[in-house]
Amino acid sequence: MSSRFDIIHKDTAGRIGRLTTPHGVVETPTVMPVINPNIQTIKPSEMRDFGAQILITNSYIIYRKDELREKALKDGLHALLDFDGPIMTDSGSFQLSVYGEVEVTNEQIIDFQQKIGSDIGVPLDIPTPPDVSFERASEELDITIERLQAARKLVTGDMLLAGPVQGSSYMQLRERCARTLSETGFDVYPFGAVVPLMESYRYADLVDVIAASKKGLDPTAPVHLFGAGHPMMFALAVALGCDLFDSAAYALYAKDRRYITSRGTYHVDDLKYLPCSCPICLKYSPEELKKAHNSTELLARHNLYVTFEEIRIIKQAIWEGNLLELVEQRCRSHPRMLEALKQMYTHSEWLEKLDPASKSTFFYCGPESAKRPEVLRFANQLERFTIRGSAFIRPAPIKLDSGYDNVLVFKPPFGAYPQELGEIYPLNAEVPRTPDQESLERAYVNTIRLAELNPETEFTYLLVERFRHTLVDKLESLPNVQIIVGHNP
């Protein structure tokens, strides 16, 4: 099933991929603008101008309205929306979560999505919100899995079928659900019911939900973060392995007179300047934008431009191998995003397995970087360095040709490593000259471990002032380590 998704390039758990649908190939990561079949701020046929490759609409809304249903059944979904590229359809699950019931069954809505020619259909799953009782989450999950497996049997044509991963805020349920769905085999895996987490800025919890769900899936399966449409969090979600997003935000925010940027959101009436170079922001002054009779439409257009701009920035970062540097920058736009960044690195052990071993230069962007998967990988490989005889550990800039058998370089956050490895990723990292405490701590923990792993070797460490840390005492207390103090080079 997942052979419809090819991964072309990887960074961390993020990737550039190609998803093949009946109406064409979609390059991911990407955002699907949400089209309301009743109200269209911007015509679907214009969406390509912003960079959209695939749209998402709601089959339940179409199903419920006679006029829309008849046209969709007669001419097809693509004619109804006047868009000839791929279109994903939702099932009414969202309405189910809001109103508690819907007037359609799982079988009926799957059948309908196939008949109108949807490219990616969604079964009528139950989007269980966060923080409900475990019993409720577990019971609803059983119904969801039952319906998804029934839907899998009902799809006979070439429509791709989405298998939404539910399980509320219970990580074991999310992972179990993902594992079960993976065994059944779906074409796309949306992670559902995460909007309440985003609306309450619980990005750290969102990180856990994504990680738990991803851990249960085949890593090559395409993932859709359902309901995520703010570009501020795309880089983070992509780094965790999300491929598709959907944005109703471009239109909803515009209706609310909100102006989206990748750093956050402005109310348009607060804008003295327009911090953007899209065609709308170049053409209008802030005053004109505020007072225009069609300001909602103009704002929606700006919102779409910046949404797709962020996707291109992310793709370039994956291509270059510096996605984590981008994530670390983006996560500084809000304290709760910073929390999410720290939470992401609690999953470094898992990320490390997916992360390519060699990328472009590692840039140390702040204390969180000391917990990056590459730093963890280096720590996990310390056993591989067998150091015999005597060893001199020098700070990075100091050169030394000495009578020692080995020369090691001390570079936070990694610690000491044989100097001949200095050009190899990630040891060729760009790091601040004066390291922070997190970086030093990691470096000394690793160096102490290296000395303990080679008890026969006599280590001499040239300590300079800017590398002082409480762990130096612990290093010095080892029987095979001697410390000499030098000046800052």
Binding site for Zn ion (CB under 5 A): 276, 278, 281, 302
CA angle, residues 148, 79, 73, in degrees to nearest 5: 55
How far is it, in rounded angstroms, from Cα 166 to Cα 402?
A: 61
How far is it, in rounded angstroms, from Cα 48 to Cα 343?
A: 35
Residue 90 appears among annotated catalytic residues: yes
**Nearest distance from residue 276's CB to Zn ion, in Å?**
3
**Nearest distance from residue 211's CB to Zn ion, in Å?**
33
How far is it, in rounded angstroms, from Cα 217 to Cα 1?
A: 13
CA angle, residues 141, 94, 333, in degrees to nearest 5: 95
Single out the residue of 116, 192, 189, 108 nearest to residue 159, CA to CA: 116
Single out the residue of 384, 383, 364, 360 nearest to residue 375, CA to CA: 364
Nearer to Zn ion, 302 or 371 (CB): 302
**Nearest distance from residue 281's CB to Zn ion, in Å?**
3
Nearer to Zn ion, 279 or 489 (CB): 279
Q: What letter would DSSP give residue 166? A: -
Nearer to Zn ion, 302 or 330 (CB): 302
**Nearest distance from residue 275's CB to Zn ion, in Å?**
8
Nearer to Zn ion, 228 or 281 (CB): 281
Nearer to Zn ion, 142 or 288 (CB): 288
**Nearest distance from residue 305's CB to Zn ion, in Å?**
5
Residue environment code for 212-241, b if the CB has 16+ CB neighbours within 10 A, otherwise e: bbbbbbebebbbbbbbbbbbbbbbbbbbbb
**Catalytic residue selected from 49, 75, 84, 90:** 90
Single out the residue of 106, 167, 169, 174 nearest to residue 139, CA to CA: 167
**Nearest distance from residue 269's CB to Zn ion, in Å?**
16
Instruction: Give DSSP secondary structure letters for 209-221.
Output: HHHHHHHHS-TTS
Nearer to Zn ion, 265 or 480 (CB): 265
Q: What letter would DSSP give residue 170? A: -
**Active site amino acids:** 90
